[in-house]
């Protein structure tokens, strides 16, 4: 698996219409849900740090669409998309971000601690690279049990500077684990351009010394991601894993919060022309255009879908609003304590 099938353009009509619309709806759900958080972040009603993944939806949706519900996913600090794409409930996500009892971590974790084991979303955490070894453990457990489950670790390009990634690549390759290493290369780690912290080499190359299959895919093209992920998942189920996937993408919002305006100082140093170029390559609007141009959906259908998803987002906010804050006397409950 050395080249990306996505490089040769995939025509939408090669796919069942239901699948196409489902992929689109899932990307839209992530986008509209995230954008609904912008105002509450800015007016201070959301108190936890929030890393929006607007612009990166096609990676989460394309990969998760290739998985079974009982496959495992672990995310990082930017995981709203991973959570929703794996089937996590939107109301549990929104309530969590607002720190409410009805949230998926009962309001204790906030945006960076998303979990729903019932759909295989094993968790997310802010320590860069911290969850890679946990996904590795899930893959090892699957291999020992022989249950054909695949484990996916989503991480950013910044994680490629952490040693645990290389230890995990080595162990996964050594044990032929059913695991996908999915690197979402959005070109920046916080405000550090990738070119300033890595020698010029494709990130997918870092898996090669371990003898691992690796592939680089256009991460804003949901069909290209799906094709690569399906092939990689099949390889894992047949015992030919692990596989490393580098998905090139871009975040359309700031590193944290909508615009990185931290304490009155605008810290997003990305060139406006670069942002404008990537806005043109928005995974959702470009897919919408393809669906219409190739006759898979009409403008009216897509507008109706947008309305339905918008109402789902409103319902998630209504759920979060009526959910109580965790009681103060329970603040220390559920914490690890060493006596």
Ligand X SMILES: Cc1ncc(C[n+]2csc(CCOP(=O)(O)OP(=O)(O)O)c2C)c(N)n1
List residues binding ligand X (CB under 6 A): 77-78, 126-128, 156-159, 186, 188-190, 255
Nearer to ligand X by C-beta: 255 or 317?
255
Residue 184 CB, shortest distance to ligand X, in Å, is: 6
Cα separation of 150 and 138, whole Å? 8
Show the 3-state SS of the chain: CCCCHHHCCCCHHHCCHHHHHHHHHHHHHHHHHHHCCHHHHHCCCCCCCCCCCCCCHHHHHHHHCCCCCCCEEECCCCCHHHHHHCCCCHHHHHHHHCCCCCCCCCCCCHHHCCCEHHHCEEECCCCCCCCHHHHHHHHHHHHHHCCCCCEEEEEEHHHHHCHHHHHHHHHHHHCCCCEEEEEEECCEECCEEHHHCCCCCCHHHHHHHHCCEEEEEECCCHHHHHHHHHHHHHHHHCCCCCEEEEEECCCCCCCCCCCCEECCEECCCCCHHHHHHHHHCCHHHHHHHHHHHCCCCCHHHHHHHHHHHHHHHHHHHHHHHHCCCCCHHHCCCCCCCCC
Nearer to ligand X by C-beta: 4 or 189?
189
Residue 193 CB, shortest distance to ligand X, in Å, is: 11
Residue 207 CB, shortest distance to ligand X, in Å, is: 16
CA dihedral 115, 316, 257, 334 (to 10 degrees): -40
Residue 116 CB, shortest distance to ligand X, in Å, is: 21
Task: Output the residue with the shortest Cβ distance to ligand X.
Answer: 156
Residue 163 CB, shortest distance to ligand X, in Å, is: 10
Nearer to ligand X by C-beta: 132 or 291?
132
User: Which of these, 220, 253, 190, lies nearest to 52 by C-alpha position?
Assistant: 253
Residue 156 CB, shortest distance to ligand X, in Å, is: 2
Measured over all CA atoms, what is the biggest interatomic distance in the chain, rounded to whole angstroms?
64
Nearer to ligand X by C-beta: 75 or 241?
75
Residue 185 CB, shortest distance to ligand X, in Å, is: 8
Residue 171 CB, shortest distance to ligand X, in Å, is: 19
CB-CB contact of 162 with 155 (8 Å)? no
């Amino acid at each position: 698996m050395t080249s990306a099938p996505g490089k040769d353009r995939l025509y939408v009509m090669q796919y069942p219409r239901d699948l196409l619309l489902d992929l689109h709806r899932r990307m839209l759900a992530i986008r509209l849900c995230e954008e609904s958080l912008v105002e509450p972040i800015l007016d201070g009603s959301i108190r936890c740090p929030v890393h929006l993944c607007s612009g990166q939806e096609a990676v989460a949706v394309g990969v998760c669409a290739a998985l079974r519900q009982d496959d495992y996913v672990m995310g990082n600090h930017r995981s709203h998309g991973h959570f929703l794409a794996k089937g996590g409930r939107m109301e549990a996500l929104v309530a969590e971000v607002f720190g409410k009892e009805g949230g998926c971590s009962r309001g204790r974790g906030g945006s960076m601690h998303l979990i729903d084991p019932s759909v295989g979303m094993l968790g997310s955490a802010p320590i860069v690279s911290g969850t890679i070894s946990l996904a590795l453990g899930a893959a090892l457990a699957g291999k020992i049990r022989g249950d054909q489950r695949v484990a996916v670790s989503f991480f950013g390009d910044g994680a490629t500077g952490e040693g645990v990634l290389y230890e995990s690549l080595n162990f996964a390759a050594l044990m032929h684990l059913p695991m996908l290493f999915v690197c979402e290369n959005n070109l920046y780690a916080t405000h550090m351009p990738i070119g300033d912290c890595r020698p010029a080499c494709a990130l997918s190359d870092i898996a090669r010394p371990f003898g691992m299959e690796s592939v680089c895919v256009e991460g804003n093209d949901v069909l290209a991601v799906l094709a690569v992920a399906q092939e990689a998942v099949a390889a894992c189920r047949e015992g030919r894993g692990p596989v490393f996937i580098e998905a090139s993408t871009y975040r359309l919002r700031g590193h944290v919060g909508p615009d990185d305006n931290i304490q009155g100082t605008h810290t997003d140093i990305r060139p406006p022309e670069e942002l404008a170029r990537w806005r043109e390559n928005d995974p959702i609007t470009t897919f919408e255009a393809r669906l219409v141009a190739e006759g898979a959906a009409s403008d009216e259908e897509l507008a109706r879908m947008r309305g339905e998803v918008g109402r789902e987002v409103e319902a998630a906010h209504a759920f979060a609003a009526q959910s109580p804050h965790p009681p103060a006397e329970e603040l220390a409950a559920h914490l690890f304590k060493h006596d």
